[in-house]
Every structure is written in C-alpha cells, then in structure tokens.
C-alpha cells in the first residue's frame, strides 16, 4: 500500500476483501439504509469487494463520529469476530488516558505473544 494512505481507508480495503457474503449485514449494523445498500449494489454490480468498500465509505461519510469501535462491534454482531483485529491495527495510535479518543485501544506489548494477548483482549472488549 502506498505511503500516506489514510489508515481508515486501508482498513476498509482489507475488510472488503474478507466480507464478500456479509457486506449488507455489516452495513445494516452500521445503520447504512437498505436504500443506500441497494444503490451501492446496483452501481457496483458483480464486484462484491467494491460494494463492501463503498458501503464502508458511505458509513464513514454519513456518521457524525465514525469510530472504529463501532465497526468492531458491528463485526461481532455479524459473527465475524475473526476480523476485529483488522479494525485495530498496530499503526493506529493507542488511546492514552486523558488523550482524545481515537476509538481504538491497544496494548503496547508488540511481541508475538503479546500481540496474541492484545488481540484476545480486543475481541473480548468489543464482542461482549
């Protein structure tokens, strides 16, 4: 991926590749209307990855405060807990106490074992 790409758009691209059969369900969980989903479906006939990407862009555009927490929770609601870590990548700033919320909390331990533990806690935080 090219340098300078918005991390949120990169997340959307990654999710789009993983959600070919769930993009409408995810859109509904994110409060994208059926009318908007139908328009996206018609405009991108045959390209399911693009449909998902456009749906995520629509949600990002129309939400007053589109935060990745909401996206992670929506993934859990459609039983795609396996994708929660895509929504909480290492290059998104860690939420610090007293700092403005970025909607993402991560542990600072970047070791392989620490990363697995962090992913576990991220899933637990959003999916319960």
- Output the CA–CA distances (angstroms, integers) from residue 85 to 71, 72, 98, 123, in the order listed: 11, 8, 24, 8
- Pick the closest to residue 66 from 4, 11, 5 (CA basis): 11
pTM, two decimal places: 0.70
The H or E element spanning position 17 is helix 7-18
CB neighbour list of residue 75: distance below 8 Å, 6 or more residues apart: 26, 81, 83, 84, 87, 126
Of the ranges 13-27, 40-54, 83-97, which one carries the lowest mean pLDDT score? 83-97
Tens of pLDDT, residue by residue over 41-67, are 999 988 999 999 999 999 999 887 778
């Amino acid at each position: 991926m090219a340098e300078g790409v918005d991390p949120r758009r990169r997340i959307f691209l990654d999710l789009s590749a993983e959600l070919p059969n769930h993009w409408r369900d995810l859109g509904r969980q994110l409060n994208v209307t059926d009318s908007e989903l139908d328009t996206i479906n018609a405009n991108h006939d045959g390209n399911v990855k693009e449909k998902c990407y456009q749906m995520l862009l629509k949600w990002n555009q129309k939400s007053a405060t589109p935060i990745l927490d909401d996206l992670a929770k929506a993934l859990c609601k459609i039983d795609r807990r396996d994708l929660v870590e895509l929504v909480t990548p290492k290059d998104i700033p860690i939420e610090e106490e007293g700092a403005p919320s970025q909607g993402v909390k991560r542990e600072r331990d970047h070791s392989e074992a620490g990363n697995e533990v962090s992913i576990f806690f991220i899933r637990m935080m959003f999916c319960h």
